Chain A
Amino acid sequence: DAGVIQSPRHEVTEMGQEVTLRCKPISGHNSLFWYRQTMMRGLELLIYFNNNVPIDDSGMPEDRFSAKMPNASFSTLKIQPSEPRDSAVYFCASSLAKGAYEQYFGPGTRLTVT
C-alpha cells in the first residue's frame, strides 16, 4: 500500500483565496483524521471521521474551515477565505476504527498564505 496520500505537498496562496487540501487514506482504514501543526501550538486535531461520518469537529478553528469525506477513499479540508494565520502544515492520518489502532500519517501539506 502507498500509505496515506496527501496533495498538494506545498501550497502558496494569497489571503482571501480558497484552499482545498486532499487526502486518500490507506485502503481498509475507516477512521480519518485532519491535523494542523504550527510552531506555536504543535500538533492539533481539527476533525475526525469514522466510516465517512464526522465524529468530532471541535478542533476546527472557525467557520472558514470545512471538511468532507464523500467516500471511504477520499477526504478534503477546505479553507475559505484563507488568512495568513492559517499558514501551517496540515496532516491527514488514517487508522482502523475499532480498538486502539495505530494512526498512519500522510506526508503533510505545507500551506503558506501571504
Chain B
Amino acid sequence: KNEVEQSPQNLTAQEGEFITINCSYSVGISALHWLQQHPGGGIVSLFMLSSGKKKHGRLIATINIQEKHSSLHITASHPRDSAVYICAVRTNNAGNMLTFGGGTRLMVKP
C-alpha cells in the first residue's frame, strides 16, 4: 500500500462545479503539500500546510492530522483549472524529502 493515496484518480466536472480532491496518508508527517501540474508539464506549489485550512482565491486546502487526511477544494471551477493535482507529504524525520501521491487528473468542461 502506498504511503500517500489520492482519490479520485480522474475527475471530470462542468464549469462552475465545486470540486473536492482527497488525500490520505499512513505515516506521521510534518507538512503536506498540494501541487498543480498543467498539461505543459510545469509543477507549481499551491499550498503547504501542517494544520487547519488555507485559502487562495478559489482554492481551499484543509488537513485533519488526527485522521491523516487532506482535501483540496476548488470553488466555481473553470476550464483553466484542468490539470493534475498532486498531494505530497513531508514525513517525520525525513528532512525535506517529499513522498508523492499518484495525482488526480482533473478536466473541467465548459
**CB within 8 Å of B: which residues of A?**
31, 33, 42-45, 48, 50, 55-56, 89, 91, 93, 95, 97, 100-105, 107-108, 110
Contact = CB atoms under 8 A, between A and B. Distances in A.
Interface residues of B, number: 23
B48 interface: yes
29 contacts: A33-B96, A33-B97, A42-B86, A42-B100, A42-B102, A43-B88, A43-B100, A44-B100, A50-B96, A56-B95, A56-B97, A89-B41, A91-B43, A93-B43, A95-B96, A100-B48, A100-B50, A101-B48, A102-B33, A102-B48, A103-B33, A103-B96, A103-B98, A105-B43, A105-B44, A105-B45, A107-B41, A108-B41, A110-B41
B38 to A, nearest CB: 11
A89 B42 CA distance: 10
Q: Lowest 7 CB-CB distances: which A-B pairs, in order?
A: A100-B31, A105-B43, A43-B100, A102-B45, A102-B48, A31-B96, A42-B102
